[in-house]
Structure 1
Amino acid sequence: MESLNGAALLPVLAMITWTLIVWFWVLLTRIPAMQKAKIHPQQGQDTRHLRSLLPEKTVWISDNYNHLHEQPTLFYALAFFLSLGGGHDTINVALLWGYVILRVVHSIIQNTTNIVAFRFYAFVASSLCLVVIVVRELIRVFFG
């Protein structure tokens, strides 16, 4: 992707890649945990019940996988908006990369130590990346 326009989409590919890595992480932890605890797959029908049967760290990873399908949907939409709408300048692209890096940090914290204060700081910092992009775009689109 030679153009700056394409550069706004590279963080999207990185975020999708990270989400798939966490999906594999879920599989590599949940299936062995279920086998070890002799949990029949059908017991996963009610995820609240399954959560109570799995080790805490296994639940952390699956929770994180779910989190990667929540706020990042705004990231994806915003990245495509920037790419298609002309707001793909160096600052916005850097903020997109900042978001991805901070979400990876958030995942690593949640999936290993799950220290909520550290997770919160990573979450807020990543959210601020999106807020700054949105404010910049509102100014560019309506006053630029």
Structure 2
Amino acid sequence: MKPLLQPAAVLILWSMVMWAWLYATRIPAMRKAGIDLTDRHGGTGKDLDGNIPDKVQWKAHNYNHLMEQPTLFYAVVVILALLGDTSETTRQIAWDYVGLRILHSLIQALWNRTIVRWAIFMLASIALLLLSIRAVVGAFSA
């Protein structure tokens, strides 16, 4: 069970790296733009689009992306672990997903070439689909 949980733990840690990176770049950009949060009410990080440099916001957008589809990854990894599917194939697909998501993050945060980012996202999605199929087969097999 433990080897299958390792990729999920790494992706969680990576998400926190992106969280730290977004604030390490966003707060100085907000100060430079003269944005004072002390009197602001409501709003979201998306409100900063167009008010601070796009390159700064790319990190925040990626952090948000890491809170979306990867939640399915965490669930499917737990399901597979509980089903006892810790095979080399399953572990490799899980690591492939994590590696592709980290690559996706780096592309989005540093370069943000949409077609490249999309291609990496699609490869990661295929890996997640394969894991999901394995979970369904395992859950319904005798």
Q: TM-score, normalised by structure 2?
A: 0.91
Contact 1:43 / 1:49 at 8 angstroms: preserved in 2?
no
Q: Are residues 14 and 98 of structure 1, via their aligned partners in 2, closer, same or farther at CA, if it must alter by over 3 Å?
A: same
Secondary structure of 2:49's partner?
helix
Indicate whether 1:88 and 2:89 are aligned: no
Contact 1:43 / 1:50 at 8 angstroms: preserved in 2?
no
Q: Which runs of 5+ in 1 are unaligned?
A: none
Q: Percent identity?
A: 37
Secondary structure of 1:92's partner?
helix
The CA deviation string for residues 102-131 of structure 1, in whole angstroms up to 9 with x for no partner, is: 000000010011000010011000011111
CA distance in 2, matches of 1:114, 1:44: 30
CA RMSD of aligned residues (A): 1.6
Name which of 42, 46, 56 aligns with 2:43.
Answer: 46
The number of residue pairs the alignment matches comes to 140
Contact 2:79 / 2:135 at 8 angstroms: preserved in 1?
no
Deviation at 1:135, TM superposition (A): 1.8
Deviation at 1:142, TM superposition (A): 2.9
Q: TM-score, normalised by structure 1?
A: 0.90
Q: Are residues 44 and 56 of structure 1, via their aligned partners in 2, closer, same or farther at CA, if it must alter by over 3 Å?
A: farther
Alignment of 1:26-65 (within 5 A): 26-41=22-37, 42-43=39-40, 45-47=42-44, 48-65=46-63
Q: Which runs of 5+ in 2 are unaligned?
A: none
The one-letter code of the counterpart of 2:23 is L
Q: Which residue of 2 aligns with 1:108?
A: 106
Q: Which residue of 2 aligns with 1:14?
A: 10
Deviation at 1:89, TM superposition (A): 1.1
The one-letter code of the counterpart of 1:81 is I
Deviation at 1:43, TM superposition (A): 4.5
Deviation at 1:10, TM superposition (A): 0.4
Secondary structure of 2:35's partner?
coil
Q: Which residue of 2 aligns with 1:76?
A: 74
Deviation at 1:143, TM superposition (A): 4.3
Q: Give the structure with the higher percent helix.
A: 1
